[in-house]
Amino acid sequence: MATRVEHDSMGSIEVPAEHYWGAQTQRSRQNFRIGGRMPVEVIQAMAQVKWAAAVANRDLGVLPERKAEAIVAVAREILAGDLDEEFPLVVFQTGSGTQTNSNLNEVIANRGNESLGEASLHPNNDVNASQSSNDTFVTAMHVAGYAAAVDEVLPAVTRLRDSIAAKAELWADVLKVGRTHLMDATPLRVGQEWSGYAAALTDAIANLERQSSGLLEVALGGTAVGTGMNAPAGFTPAVVAALAEVTGHPFVPATNPFAAQATLDPMVRSHSALKDTAVALFKIGNDLRWAASGPRTGLRELRIPANEPGSSIMPGKVNPTQVEALLQVCLSVVGHDVTVSMAGAEGNFELNVFRPVVIDCYLRSASTLAAACESLRENLIEGTELDERRLRDNVANSVMVITALSPVVGYEKAAEVAHLAIEEDLSVRDAAVRCGLDPHLVDNLTTAALGNG
């Protein structure tokens, strides 16, 4: 492989001649060969940060127009995906993300110099002007995390919620037997049960919106420890305003830059909302696979789409595979939340150095959760039907309609009827007659109970 010699503060090093990265990127490649690459969303967010910094530095007289334009031009190329192969560094590197920041600085400088036709752009002096890895990387985390939450997760969960709500309306008048403790309970309507699922997701959506809004405060402008050292007066409001314009999201300077750089609390809270959404989805998914169990000896209340064969040995078997995929995603999100929480707790003094793993976990959670919601909606919810005959039979055979008798004949007498019906496999009406109750009373109360279910 052809190489060229690049220099940094530690000396000279050979780098692949066909790539734009420089000495610090190459050192990281050699010293950290652990796991997968930094997510492209982080690289693109960093490019937006560099774009915003170039604009602010130009406006404040730190960079000449031509240098700022060259930086912006390369940032555009990065956002278009034209330079993806120039960012080879892994997630598990320095905890501040310094090496990824350096990777961006070097690629932008070398590619920019190529377009300028001269070696005038310097990765540190120009591309990184008025910045530090300590304020740029965490800002990029917020940019990437917020976009993932509002552009991927929220729309996907909202569409799933709406699909479930449509089923609740469709099945608003269908009676079924309720269940508590996995045992028969009083009747309700299928629409009421599914309205509960929709409401749970509505709450999750509101929580995710609220917690993700905390990512709109960014540390950019704080440089090394939050003081803004080496940045010109007015840089923070200028660069954050430019970032808001570049991204299309209303980012603002952090209320307290020291907290913004010393902690990862906004990321922790936002990921917690992803976890809370996963918890809500897990409950809903679990109910769906129980309700669809069968086709002969299970609950058999739902008929789910037969998307693929369910067994390599049992012909005709259909499994709730979409739900199983969703539940696995939910478990992974809960696991990521443990990592994010522990990482957030590990900051020391003026800097948290567990940043790369946090944004990697966050983006994995967001992308898989969004995809799982879309898949469940498209491949299960929209094609699911009720087994209404089974539901009618269950209601007709339910013992818990006897609850309607309790206010009239007392709890103990009603319990006597229930136990007799269960032990001797009798209808509630027959058991009530055996216990000396008026059958017409039982009929009237049962009808009223079902009518108000």
Helix (H) or strand (E) holding 451: helix 439-451
CA–CA separation, 282 and 288 (whole Å): 10
Give yes or no for a contact between 433 and 424, defined as CB atoms under 8 angstroms apart.
no
Taking Cα atoms as reference points, which of 222, 234, 230 lies closest to residue 139?
Answer: 222
- Hey, what's the torsion of the CAs at 123, 129, 134, 140, to 10 degrees? -80
Helices (H) and strands (E) in the chain, counts: 17, 8
Distance linking the first and last C-alpha atoms of the chain = 75
CA–CA separation, 11 and 7 (whole Å): 5
How many C-beta atoms surround the C-beta of residue 425 within 10 A? 9
β pairing state of 217-218 and 252-253: parallel
Helix then strand then coil, in percent of the chain rounded to 5, is: 65, 10, 30
- 19 is known as an active-site residue: no
Q: Of these residues, 96, 133, 142, 181, which one is catalytic?
A: 181
CA–CA separation, 146 and 269 (whole Å): 12
DSSP annotation of 39: P
How many C-beta atoms surround the C-beta of residue 312 within 10 A? 7
CA–CA separation, 392 and 234 (whole Å): 71
- 181 is known as an active-site residue: yes
Q: Of these residues, 9, 133, 293, 311, which one is catalytic?
A: 311
Which residue type, as a one-letter code, is found at position 21? W
Give yes or no for a contact between 163 and 382, defined as CB atoms under 8 angstroms apart.
yes
For residue 107, how far is the Cα from the chain centroid? 31
Sequence-distant (≥ 6) Cβ neighbours of residue 262 within 8 angstroms = 226, 347, 349, 350, 351, 352
By annotation, the residues acting in catalysis are 181, 311
